[in-house]
Amino acid sequence: MSKNILFLVGSLREGSFNYQMAKEVEGLLEGKAVVTYLDYKDVPVFNQDLETPVLASVAKVREEIQKADAIWIFSPVYNSAIPGPVKNLLDWASRVLDLTNPGGPSALQDKVVTVSSVASSWQEKVFPAYIDLLTFVRTKVVGEFTAAKVNPEAWGNGKLVLADELLAAL
């Protein structure tokens, strides 16, 4: 049976290079896995006062995460760090499903997760932060994280070109 892989693209930008990489990877996974993209644009900035009752946008992303066998994060680097939208989403998803049971599982509990990053340069610098965060929220971090540099022409024409060797190594 095919695995369900949830793609979390850490850029909300139209034309995102990380989204373009996700689409390439989706093509490579054709016939091997079912890919879904997490739509989290309506999840608000985290605020504990908004946890109860559970917001529809939060319930939806939790459900998508729970349905997935694995999560593949495609993330830019913002100021040498995990982009705010991804951190915010992971903060929400890290909360226990039942707030009356503080030691209970979150939607992320034991989820297999890997990370790829397309950025201008130094994208590997964000990987240790991802490993810390993803381990802390009790996911199972797997794989060699992939770092791809934006090809210079892409800044002009908007089209990311990934090296064949990088795609072959995925």
Ligand X SMILES: Cc1cc2nc3c(=O)[nH]c(=O)nc-3n(C[C@H](O)[C@H](O)[C@H](O)COP(=O)(O)O)c2cc1C
- Among 23, 26, 33, 78, which residue interacts with ligand X (rule: CB under 6 A)? 78
Main-chain dihedrals φ then ψ at residue 120, nearest 5 degrees: -70, -45
List CB contacts of 147: < 8 A, sequence separation 6 or more.
116, 117, 119, 123, 124, 127
Q: Is 151 exposed, middle or buried (0-12, 13-18, 19+ CB in 10 A)?
A: middle
- By rule CB under 6 A, what count of residues binds ligand X? 17
Q: 6, 164, 142: which is closest to 74 by C-alpha?
A: 6
Q: How far is the CB of 78 from ligand X (least distance, A)?
A: 4
The answer to whether 139 and 108 have CB atoms below 8 angstroms apart is yes
Q: Which is nearer to ligand X, 70 or 76 (CB)?
A: 76
79 is a site residue for ligand X (CB under 6 A)? yes
Give the pair of three-digit tokens for residue 85.
């939208």
Q: Which is nearer to ligand X, 137 or 150 (CB)?
A: 150
Return the residues of window 55-74 that contact ligand X according to CB under 6 A: none
85 is a site residue for ligand X (CB under 6 A)? no
Give the pair of three-digit tokens for residue 169.
């190594």
Q: Which is nearer to ligand X, 35 or 107 (CB)?
A: 35
Alpha-carbon distance of 21 to 160, in angstroms, equals 8
Q: How far is the CB of 150 from ligand X (least distance, A)?
A: 5
Return the residues of window 143-162 that contact ligand X according to CB under 6 A: 150
77 is a site residue for ligand X (CB under 6 A)? yes
- Among 27, 32, 67, 120, which residue interacts with ligand X (rule: CB under 6 A)? 120
Residues at the interface with ligand X (CB under 6 A): 11, 13, 16-18, 76-80, 118-123, 150
